[in-house]
Chains A and B, each alone.
Chain A
């Protein structure tokens, strides 16, 4: 199973063909289900209709026979009534009815006890047709008190013509009828309307029984007839005939369906029921037999009705299953063949992926999507080869540039003093500085040196980044050193640097810069801020009267300097905007407020510790984000010894 699932998961043709077959199967099942349902309904309806027709025809045929008995009786019964004064004529009439209707079994014209006093208690003129020989006799006697029999009493008590239940007639002193018969009885009345006796015409039910038994619309269907009391008079199981009623089994075992059927049949209803008969699901169609009180039913097992349909259904299902299997086989073959170039392509791609870019893809000559894919893949392979070549070159170039940049970075870093303590011979100066470019080389700068008992220092930030900024930075740093070493004030240094930088500055680059000079003897601090961030003194931003312009933009502009009379003992922090504008990954800057907080309590720290604290704070703030700007810090304090 797992192997099969693996094949399905790994093979596109297997998966595609399976999906197609599954969809086809779903559509087939839905369509067949609908078709089966509809056809079952129509087969069922057709079968019921057919059984109904058969039942109707049978009942009609039997009723016709019963009607003839009734007509024969109706045509005769006026005679005895007219000749009540001639008892012997009754024998003639009883005989005549059989002569005129040879298919009738017997006829009795019977009278109330002592109706003809001279004839005694019993007078029943009875004729019987025995194989074509008609015998006539007076059949009443002490052993056969006919007036207690149903055929006599029913007409008398009901006061209307009626049929008896089927019975075996029995007269010990006369004739014994071995056949099942039923009698049509009519009351006889004298001219005053007073009941005098009964005329009863007997019919053998052999033909009726055979006719009904022969009704068999389906191989296992059968028919039955019950009487008023539910007794079986026709039934395929001869042990039930006369001995059992439709209710007998229900006395031992509840069967509401059978009871309902019996009630409906006894009530002379016509209809159909679906129910279990002898543990088989059956349709039972029933119809009364005229006015007899008897009812005929046809029992058709559902399996019988639907057997042809079920055979067809199984055949169709088998054909569909075989069709689907064949379909799967063919579709998987076709898909496999159609996708074979893809397989080759996959194999080639695997080869190419392993590095053999020069492998030539064969042209499968296809013009469809697969051909297009092959061609596109081939084009992609060529592009890839070119690209790889190009990439090799670029990589080599980049490596060269990176190497050069490393050298440039080293050179740039070498341009700023990096040896601390800065003035090993002077223990009254605490100075520390650092510069961290955002890229290999940066545009920030710082510098300091001692000149005639003065300390010059500066921090600057060139516009832009990278190599142009670093070159500009190198120029600026050299200018600072050259000019400042001549003993100029910070303002003069600024003015001269500006003049130099402004010349031939086609790139319009500039640098912001803070230039300061401290008189070591007096602690006087002269400074000139050229568009740079204000320095912090003792952890607070130094309020500046003059911000001035950045250097390098406009030649000849005047610069204004400022002075702090004595900076001894005070902590001076110079920095570039890489500090207060350091961004994290959400582009939030560190900000001046946070900077002020960072500097709280920093007065007690050394210059190196202050720088370290600030670097760590920036690192924390960035939280893993790449540096967005160069970061340069310089902390200075002239200690009072």
Chain B
């Protein structure tokens, strides 16, 4: 067999394979398109999913179809969740399995309107997302006896900017930059970073229902592998990655801009590095899982302990 034929053969084989040979897989990120999900967009656009035999479709959640609802109804096979959210879900009796952990650090911060340490302002009104993500903040308030009045908001920072609340929770890759973009002065004094104060609990990971996982373990492994490859490619090619993200942003008419997405991508990639090893590990850390469960149990956000094995579907 000559060389040219040996090179052409795999291509010919690919071309003649029936479309059905690719397994359909719907992935739903937890939120609207943004750089937080860059690795998945990259894996899709660069064909990494296709290479592992997956016909992935990325469908973003809508107000009528939140990510979890899509997963429960089997419309999507996987979604991203924060570790604490996943624990809460599992606590309510929904078995979930973590198939890929991307975040290695906690991104939650509290920003105060005045130039004062948030921990010094007991009883203040603190804005929080009406859809959650605030488990560590609740733990902090209870543990430190801060007695914060939580004000759930649906979106945006207008309550904070108009002075209706005294402080707000924010993600260091998202709302934090939005606050800067709104001209809010942020200093070391008025920001409380959970990761620096004993609350460094991992966040984003990819989850699927245990039932689906049990039947499609290999598929789950391949999806996780291709997704991880997507993230690694993003690290190597931040500009191209940003172009891909902005394509998604534009198609979905998301009210953001390239500057914000660039900052978000940089921060998301930074959060993926284990501070202790300096590596991108893409794994759940048992100590962090223990920290999360113990904090949540202590503050009655969980009613039972959830183990690492359970999270990993073992």
Residues of A within 8 A of B (CB): 143-145, 148-150, 153-154, 157-158, 162, 164-165, 167, 170, 172-173, 228-231, 240, 242-249, 251-252, 259, 262-263, 266, 293
Q: Given the complex of chains A and B, what is the CA–CA distance between A293 and B159 in angstroms?
A: 13
Residue among B62, B130, B163, B164 with max Cβ neighbours from chain A (10 Å): B164
**Residue contact A243 to B152, C-beta cutoff 8 Å:** no
Complex interface: chain A residues within 8 A of B259 (CB): 244, 248-249, 251-252
Q: Tell me if B73 counts as interface (CB < 8 A to partner A).
A: no
Q: B156-181: contact bitstring with A at CB < 8 Å (1 yes, 0 no)?
A: 11110111110000000000011011
| 6 more CB-based (< 8 A) A-B contacts, given A157-B159, A173-B64, A251-B181 | A154-B159, A158-B163, A228-B162, A243-B256, A245-B182, A248-B259
Instruction: Give the distance in Å from the alpha carbon of A145 to the alpha carbon of B162 in the complex.
Output: 21
Report how far A145 CA is from B156 CA in the complex, Å: 15
Evaluate contact between B151 and A153: CB separation under 8 angstroms: yes
Give the distance in Å from the alpha carbon of A162 to the alpha carbon of B255 in the complex. 24
Closest 9 CB pairs of A and B: A229-B182, A157-B164, A148-B130, A172-B63, A148-B154, A172-B64, A242-B255, A228-B161, A150-B158
Residues of B within 8 A of A (CB): 62-64, 125, 130, 151-154, 156-159, 161-165, 177-178, 180-183, 255-257, 259-260, 262-263
Residues of B within 8 A of A252 (CB): 259, 262
How long is the Cα–Cα vector from A170 to B62 in the complex, in angstroms?
11
* Residues of B with C-beta under 8 A to A263: 183
Q: Quote the shortest CB–CB distance from A353 to chain B (angstroms).
A: 88
Question: B255 near A243 (CB under 8 angstroms)?
Answer: yes
26 CB < 8 A contacts A-B: A143-B63, A143-B64, A148-B153, A150-B154, A150-B156, A150-B158, A157-B159, A158-B163, A167-B156, A170-B63, A172-B62, A228-B158, A228-B161, A228-B162, A228-B182, A229-B161, A229-B178, A229-B182, A229-B183, A230-B182, A243-B255, A243-B256, A244-B259, A245-B181, A246-B183, A252-B262
- Nearest-neighbour CB distance to chain A for B170, whole angstroms, equals 13
Task: Knowing A154-B164, A158-B164, A172-B63, say if A247 contacts B182 (CB, 8 Å).
Answer: yes
A259 touches B183 (CB 8 A): yes
- Residues of chain A within 8 A (CB-CB) of B178 are 229
B residues in contact with A247, CB < 8 Å? 180-183
| Partner pick for B153 among A150, A167, A170, A230, CB 8 A cutoff | A150
Residues B152 and A165 in contact, CB atoms below 8 Å apart:
no
Q: Please tell me if the beta carbons of A164 and B158 are within 8 angstroms of each other in the complex.
A: yes
Chain A residue numbers with a CB within 8 Å of B125 are 157
Tell me the complex Cα distance, A252–B259, Å.
7
In the complex, residue of chain A having the shortest beta-carbon distance to the beta carbon of B125:
A157
Please measure, in the bound complex, the distance between the C-alpha atom of A162 and the C-alpha atom of B159, giving whole angstroms: 12
Cα A89 to Cα B196 with chains together (Å): 53
Contact A251–B177 (Cβ < 8 Å): yes
Residues of B contacting A: mostly:
mixed
What is the bound-complex CA distance between A172 and B153, given in angstroms?
A: 17
Q: Which of B163, B183, B263 contacts A230, CB < 8 Å?
A: B183
Give the interface centre of B156, B159, B183, B263 by most chain A CB atoms within 10 Å: B183
A248 & B181 in contact (Cβ 8 Å cutoff): yes
In the bound complex, CA of A162 to CA of B156 (Å): 17
Please indicate the chain B residues that have their CB under 8 angstroms from the CB of A158 in the complex: 162-164
- Complex contact B164–A153 (CB within 8 A): yes
CB distance from B15 to the nearest CB of A (A): 40
Among B162, B165, B263, the residue within 8 A (CB) of A251 is B263
- Asked if A162 and B162 sit within 8 Å, CB to CB, the answer is yes
Residues of A within 8 Å of B152, CB to CB, are: 148
| Chain B positions within 8 Å of A157 at CB level | 125, 151, 159, 164-165
Complexed CA–CA distance, A362 and B194 (Å) = 112
Q: Is the CB of B62 within 8 A of A229?
A: no
In the complex, chain A residues whose CB is within 8 Å of the CB of B159: 150, 153-154, 157
What is the distance, in angstroms, from A390's C-beta to the closest C-beta of chain B? 104
CB-based nearest B residue for A163: B162
In this complex, what residue of A is CB-closest to B157? A229
Per the bound structure, the CA–CA distance linking A71 and B260 in Å amounts to 39
A248–B257 touching, CB < 8 Å: yes
CB contacts (< 8 Å) of A230 on chain B: these are: 181-183
By a CB distance below 8 angstroms, the chain B residues around A172 are: 62-64
Contacts of B154 in A (CB 8 A): 145, 148-150
Contacts of B156 in A (CB 8 A): 150, 165, 167, 229
Residue of A with least CB distance to B63: A172
Chain A residues closer than 8 Å to B151, beta-carbon distance: 153, 157
Q: Which residues of A contact B153 (CB under 8 A)?
A: 148-150, 153
Assess the B158–A243 pair: CB atoms within 8 A: no
Pick the residue among A164, A243, A266, A293 that contacts B183 (CB under 8 A): A266
Min Cβ gap A292→B in Å is: 10
CA distance A529 to B307 in the complex (A): 158
In whole angstroms, what is the CA distance A246 to B152 when docked? 27
Give Cα A246–Cα B181 distance, bound, in whole angstroms: 8
Determine the chain B residues whose CB is within 8 A of the CB of A144 once the complex forms.
63
Known: A143-B64, A145-B130, A148-B153. A248 touches B161 (CB 8 A): no
Chain A residues contacting B180 (CB-CB under 8 Å) are 247, 251
Q: Which residues of B contact A228 (CB under 8 A)?
A: 158, 161-162, 182
Q: Which residues of B contact A266 (CB under 8 A)?
A: 183
The residues of B that contact A145 with a CB separation of less than 8 Å are 130, 154
Which of B64, B125, B163 has its CB near the most chain A CB atoms (within 10 A)? B163
- For A143, A158, A251, the residue with the greatest tally of chain B CB atoms inside 10 Å of its CB is A251
Distance A344 CA – B255 CA, assembled complex (angstroms): 90
**Residue on B nearest A265 in the bound complex, by CB:** B183
**Nearest-CB residue, chain B, relative to A165:** B158
- Chain B residue nearest to A158 (CB atoms) is B164
With A228-B161, A229-B157 as contacts: A248 and B260 at CB distance below 8 Å: yes
Residue in B130, B151, B156, B177 whose Cβ sees the most chain A Cβ within 10 Å:
B156
Q: In the complex, which residues of chain B have a beta carbon less than 8 angstroms from the beta carbon of A244?
A: 181, 257, 259
A243 to B256, CA, bound (A): 4
Q: What is the bound-complex CA distance between A252 and B262, given in angstroms?
A: 10
A293 to B64, CA, bound (A): 32
Give complex CA distance A263, B185 in Å.
10
A259 nearest CB across to chain B (Å): 7
Instruction: Please give, as numbers and ranges, the residues of chain B lying within 8 Å of A165 by CB-CB distance.
Output: 156, 158, 161
| Distance of A509 Cα from B182 Cα, bound (Å) | 124
